[in-house]
Amino acid sequence: MSVIPFDRFACPIDLSSLTQTNTVFSCAQKHSFDQSQKGYVNLLPVQFKKTKDPGDNQEMVLARKSFLETGQYHFIMDTIIDFLSGIVSSHPSEPIYCVDAGCGEGYYLDRFQNLFVRQFPNTPLACLGYDISKEAIKKASARSKTIHWAVATNAHIPVLSQSVDYLFCFFGFPVPSEFYRILKKDGLLFLVDPGEKHLLEIRKKLYLKIKKETPYHLNMDKFPQFKHIKTISRIKQMELLSDTDLFNLIAMTPHIHRASAEKIQTTLRCSFPSITADIRINVLSPADKS
């Protein structure tokens, strides 16, 4: 197996290099962070927290984990691996450093690592997944012991500058300046977002009016330090969702907070022959990085 340790941690406070000695990560300024018994490290100092328990709560994390494990979204990472196949095989001996920003309970990064080592067995791979939610990272740590996991925020990414080849942000909250800082000059950012038809059947039941369908468009003004490489669209009709899957699909999205409790109950009683997954994978690269 070509998995190698992720050894490009930066101190979240001063961005200097963090080194690991046994279960302690520390920097030259003597900031130190303990690895938990579950294996993850908490790199979210209290001064970076706006609430006591930021990020997704346990219910959302469990709903997402259960839904993703049905395999309905496998096609998303399959598409990314397909895209990478030409690029990776042209540099077979270079190690690849990969980060999943806002990784949730770790489904996507774990799938990425499994598919990647199978497809590119000669390319060493180091992976870090981080999320601001401790509940999510606890679940991620149980999912894979060969991936490094951290509690951390996109606003202060605990990773050295110019050290990452592939950076993923699935349905997350990008901080473009930090993403730019940690990517190598030829690194790639994969931003995965819902398209305009995503979960349309459910949204029609949850809301009296749904927003007019304007075609999906990534606003590059929000990513001034990046150039756009490609947008890949994937639409899938998800069939045979059980009642539990339908509940989890709603509970893992902001709809669980936005829609009224009554509408959610009515929607859960509906039967949906199929539900649309409309996914956009945007590939960006840092512009003008020397």
Residue 55 in the binding site for ligand SAM (CB under 6 A) = yes
Show the 3-state SS of the chain. Answer: CCECCCCCEECCCCCCECEEECCEEECCCCCEEEECCCCCEECCCHHHCCCCCCCCCHHHHHHHHHHHCCCCCHHHHHHHHHHHHHHHHCCCCCCEEEEEECCCCCHHHHHHHHHHHHHCCCCCEEEEEEECCHHHHHHHHHHCCCCEEEECECCECCECCCCEEEEEEECCCCCHHHHHHHEEEEEEEEEEEECCCCCHHHHHHHCCCCCCCCCCCCCHHHCCCEEEEEEEEEEEEEECCCHHHHHHHHHCCCHHHHCCHHHHHHHHHCCCCEEEEEEEEEEEEECCCC
Partners of 21 in the β-ladder: 24
Q: Does residue 102 bind ligand SAM (CB under 6 A)? A: yes
Binding-site member from 8, 11, 40, 56 for ligand SAM (CB under 6 A): 56
Q: Could you tell me the smallest distance in angstroms from the CB atom of residue 209 to ligand SAM?
A: 23
Q: Is 286 in the site for ligand SAM (CB under 6 A)?
A: no
Q: Is 172 in the site for ligand SAM (CB under 6 A)?
A: yes
Binding flag, residue 195, ligand SAM (CB under 6 A): no
Which window, 85-93, 98-106, 158-166, 226-234, contacts ligand SAM (CB under 6 A)? 98-106
> Residue 167 is encoded by which pair of tokens?
């950076």
> Which listed residue (91, 173, 244, 266) binds ligand SAM by CB under 6 A?
173
Q: Which stretch binds ligand SAM (CB under 6 A): 20-28, 149-157, 176-184, 229-237?
A: 149-157
**103 makes contact with ligand SAM (CB under 6 A):** yes
Binding range to ligand SAM, per CB under 6 A, among 30-38, 100-108, 255-263, 264-272: 100-108
The minimum distance between CB 43 and ligand SAM, in angstroms, equals: 11
Residue among 4 and 155 whose Cβ is closer to ligand SAM = 155
Distance CA 171, CA 192 (A): 6
Among 99, 128, 132, 281, binds ligand SAM (CB under 6 A): 132
Whose Cβ is closer to ligand SAM: residue 129's or residue 286's?
129
* Chosen residue from 12, 18, 64, 264 binding ligand SAM by CB under 6 A: 64
Please say which residue, 3 or 155, places its beta carbon nearer to ligand SAM.
155
What letters, b where the CB count within 10 A reaches 16 and e where it falls short, cover 126-163? bbbbbbbbbbbbbbbbebbebbbbbbbbbebbbbbebb
Give the total of residues touching ligand SAM (CB under 6 A). Answer: 19
Residue 144 touches ligand SAM, criterion: CB under 6 A? no
CA-closest candidate to residue 239, choices 276, 194, 279, 199: 276
Task: State in angstroms the smallest separation of the CB of 72 from ligand SAM.
Answer: 12
Q: Is 136 in the site for ligand SAM (CB under 6 A)?
A: yes
Segment contacting ligand SAM (CB under 6 A): 150-158, 204-212, 228-236, 268-276?
150-158
Interface residue list for ligand SAM (CB under 6 A): 55-56, 64, 102-104, 107-108, 131-133, 136, 153-155, 170-173
